[in-house]
Amino acid sequence: MKLISNRALREFSETYPLAAAPLQGWRKVIEKNIFTNWAELKRSFVAVDKVGEKTVFDIGGNKFRIIAHVRFEKQIVYVNAVLTHAEYDKDDWK
């Protein structure tokens, strides 16, 4: 799949350096695979949930969240936000 955008991951990692390795690991799994449906995505990412139209990935041992829009038909993942667990819990991103 194609990721749009790695920049969001890198910028988040500048503020939260401990997030760099888990975020880039997630990116590599996304970019090296073809996911054609939710079940395939769920097999690779156990800690992933649907919240409305968004897909929420729990990253780094549940410390960080990636909010994304996954377009299976186009093989694109759009990163909407990268948040800490506390930021995610505030519900401001919805």
pTM greater than the 0.95 cutoff: no
How many domains does the chain divide into? 1
Residue with structure tokens 């991951």? 9
Cα distance between residue 81 and residue 64, in whole Å:
11
The whole-number pLDDT of residue 89 equals 84
Percent of the chain with pLDDT over 70: 96
Contacts of 51 (CB under 8 A, 6+ apart): 67, 94
CATH of the domain at 15: 3.30.2310.20
Domain span including residue 17:
2-88
The pLDDT tens digits for 29-41 are: 999 999 999 999 9
The pLDDT tens digits for 41-70 are: 999 998 999 999 999 999 999 899 999 999
12 occurs within a structural domain: yes
94 occurs within a structural domain: no
Residue with structure tokens 């949930």? 49
93 occurs within a structural domain: no
The whole-number pLDDT of residue 79 equals 97
